[in-house]
Amino acid sequence: MNKKQFIDALSAKLEQQNIRYPKWELTSIIEPALEVIMETLSHGEDIQLNKFGHFSIKYKKGSPYYNINTKRKEIAPDKKIIQFTPHKGFHFDDPSGTSTSDSNFEDNGK
């Protein structure tokens, strides 16, 4: 989903609740909100959104790789990665009707 599709979906969701906003107005709200999120993360601060999740910056150390052009082993530079951790109550609707049980991933102490 891109930003335009997101704004269309948000507009449709609000119309279901009999709230009508022009799409340009939704865009003028969404874009600054996304900018605040990007600026906050770029300053190294975490973002906690209640009942949604937690955004944080994870530092990934560079890993070795083989460069075929120079025929040498090199180390990739360190990276900053945005990590999203969903709220414990966050769930995905499974459109296929099949659900995976969390019991498959439980540690039984073995």
Residue-wise pLDDT tens digits, 50-98: 988 999 999 999 999 999 999 999 999 999 999 999 988 877 776 665 5
Contact call for residues 34 and 44 (beta carbons, < 8 A): no
Q: DSSP code of 4?
A: H
Of 53, 71, 73, which Cα lies nearest the Cα of 63? Answer: 73
Pick from 32, 23, 29, 25: nearest CA to 4: 23
What is the C-alpha to C-alpha distance for residues 69 and 9, in angstroms, rounded to an integer? 46
Q: What is the pLDDT of residue 93?
A: 75
Contacts of 37 by beta carbon, 8 Å cutoff, 6+ apart: 47, 55
